[in-house]
Amino acid sequence: MRVTNMSLIPLLVAGLCMSGCNSDSSSGANNPTNSNTANSTTAQPQQSQSQPEQTQSTMVFTNGRIYTVNEKAPWAQAIAITDNKIVFVGTSDQAQQYIGDNTQVIDLKGKMVMPGFHDVHMHPLESGSDATQFTIPEATSAQTYINLVSEAAFQNPNAEWLIGYGHAIGTLLEMEDNPIAVLDEAVPNRPVIIMEQTSHSMWVNSKALELAGLHTESLDPIGGVIGRDEQGNLDGILYDNAGNQVMELAMRSLTNTQQNDYLGLVEYTMPALNKAGITSISDARTYWQRGHLETWLKIANEDKLTLRTHLGLWAYPQMNDATQLSKLKSLYQADPTSLLKVNQVKFYVDGILINTTAAMHEPYHQDWLELDGNKGLNYFTQARLEKYIKALEPTGFDFNIHAIGDRGIHEALNAIENASSGTARHRLTHLEVVDPADYTRFAKLGVIADAQVAGDFTDPSHWPENTPLLGSERSQDLVPIKSLVDNNATLTLSSDWNVSPFNPFIGISNAMTRTPQAITLTQALEAYTLNSAYAMRQEHLVGSLEVGKLADLIVLDRNLFDSTVKEIANTQVVMTLLDGEIVYQK
């Protein structure tokens, strides 16, 4: 991990006062939070049991409003850190015993401190890399698309494949021109593939279909659909895993992918996440056949990680089970001394609602893809998921399972109930349409409920947009985080970046305003910290600020408990510590 040169830290950091400044103990000593805030009792001091009282700490924060996410002692004024561990949490007066000549003392001047955020579902390598050569608008005219893609071809004369991103699936479905004809006019002689915003479909031209060996007689792959027009001809839209497989071909054509991925993570993504107060992440789709794992290992081996990172190895739906299971087992890593763990597997059970590929109990109201029963599709069936659970749990893997439709969620819960030993920490993510009959099963089975609410599309104001597909009844209470919490599910909140912003404060704000599926600030913070640490099997190390835990913490420019929902969304991080080291300062 990158080591901070403490001598280079300025004396004043965004209102924080380092050692040598005049301390104002009244700023936070007697009133750690607003008196109307729930659970605002000041903590009884926690002191290391193994250290003498006069031990000099590396760093001491004083005069703050420290929200510990420890229900036994939720608030404190000071925290002492020795090397990478928390050795004291309590009052500013009692923290003085940990201050010596070489202690870095930071006067918080009433600012709020809390544990670093965890984002247990994001795509940091994919989102931060520049593997795509061009971006197109969500919606525009066919002629504009032709012009933009033609220009991209001109600007990238040596690219074997032209790879783009940006349109919405609805734009193609409503287009008067055949989507494939549009791309063929733009670029007739080179393959073109453009990822739709959700990543659940690809727009391709005829040359791409030719190289992929797809034609009118081709059968749909497992977990995917080859789009066709009314005459049965291919229309250039590849849904879900049909598109994923062609994208694999396109990515293999790139010669500098790993270097781009590496630079994207080191120079942009990790600093941006630290700036947002994020100290732990799960990469929710590590394409190990594309070299993603090697990129992460290179960063870890060079000691450049500034995040605790757990990788979710992608389970390829089309791959032979015996071969894939053997390979996944060989890739498992869980060195307790490393910031990088390879201890999760990412499965898709189904697709997404707007494609009509999310697995539903009842048929969609529109039949675009002519799937059997019009109830969506499965990447992995319940029986196959059970097979993987039985095979991979003994190795130590936890599963991160994409499940959006009520049937997909139900089948994933069934698979865990039937096959899991009960000691794993599997989680279902997205959870858009949940059968109320399954609410109680999360707690009963110990399954973590992972949801994303930072994106506008999950807001209740957008629920009616699903009525044409689902009907008015099924379009209500999407992503039912309150109902799940009320039924004792362990809730985590994540971003699915870049589908939604990774800024946790936007997610927290949205979680508190999703009436009738809103939760409290306390519940949202727990979902982003301690619960997510539990999902990553590190709640004994981080996720709350307690003596003996590692010093992953953030300093905020305001007290969230004294702020309006809008103010919470605009919160800025002043400082981020990982393992006792400053990895971001404003």
- Give per-residue pLDDT as tens, 475-534: 999 999 999 999 999 999 999 998 999 999 999 999 999 999 999 999 999 999 999 999
Which pLDDT belongs to residue 2?
33
Give the Å distances, CA to CA, from 546 to 88, 380, 524. 8, 41, 19
- pLDDT higher for 87 or 10? 87
Instruction: Supply the pLDDT for residue 45.
Output: 67
Q: Give 222-270 pLDDT, tens digit per residue.
A: 999 999 999 999 999 999 999 999 999 999 998 888 888 999 999 999 9
Q: Point out the least confidently predicted range of 122-131, 345-354, 489-498.
A: 122-131
* The predicted structure's pLDDT at residue 23: 38
148: left (phi over 0), alpha (psi -120 to 50) or beta: alpha
How sure is the predictor about 201, in pLDDT bands with cuts at 50, 70 and 90? very high
Orientation angle between helical segments 521-528 and 504-511, nearest 10 degrees: 140
Distance CA 318, CA 471 (A): 33
All structural domains of the chain with their residue ranges? 6-115+563-585, 132-252, 277-541
> Would you state the CATH architecture of domain 132-252?
Roll (3.10)
Rounded-to-integer distance, Cα 70 and Cα 547, Å: 11
The predicted pLDDT at position 132 comes to 82
Query: Looking at residue 131, what is its pLDDT?
Result: 74
Q: Which two tokens stand for residue 69?
A: 């996410």
Selected from 3.30.70.260, 3.20.20.140, 3.40.50.11030, 3.30.420.10, the CATH number assigned to the domain covering 277-541 reads 3.20.20.140
- Predicted confidence (pLDDT) at residue 9 exceeds the cutoff of 50: no
* Tens-place pLDDT, residues 376-435: 999 999 999 999 999 999 999 999 999 999 999 999 999 999 999 999 999 999 999 999
pLDDT higher than threshold 50 for residue 49: no
Chain CA centroid to CA 551, Å: 22
Give the tokens for residue 457: 């599309």
> Nearest to residue 176, comparing CAs of 144, 217, 211, 141?
141
Q: What is the predicted pLDDT for the residue at 235?
A: 97
* pTM of this structure: 0.92
Measured CA to CA in angstroms, residue 365 lies from 223, 353, 468 at distances of 21, 12, 7
Query: In b/e form, how buried is each residue of 314-323, taking b as 16+ CB within 10 angstroms?
Result: bbbbeeeeee
SS (H, E, C) 51-111: CCCCCCCCEEEECCEEECCCCCCCEECEEEEECCEEEEEECHHHHHHHCCCCCEEEECCCC
Q: Which helix (H) or strand (E) holds 347?
A: strand 340-348
Q: Which CATH class is domain 6-115+563-585?
A: mainly beta
Q: Which amino acid belongs to residue 177?
A: D
Nearest Cα residue to 88 out of 145, 47, 126: 47
Give percent of the chain above pLDDT 70: 91
For 474, the enclosing helix (H) or strand (E) is none
Q: How confident is the model over 547-578, as pLDDT tens digits?
A: 999 999 999 999 999 999 999 999 999 999 99
pLDDT mean over 42-70 = 77
> pLDDT band at 29, cuts 50/70/90?
very low
Statement: residue 10 has pLDDT above 50 = no
| Model pLDDT for residues 107-124, shown as the tens digit of each residue | 999 999 999 999 999 999
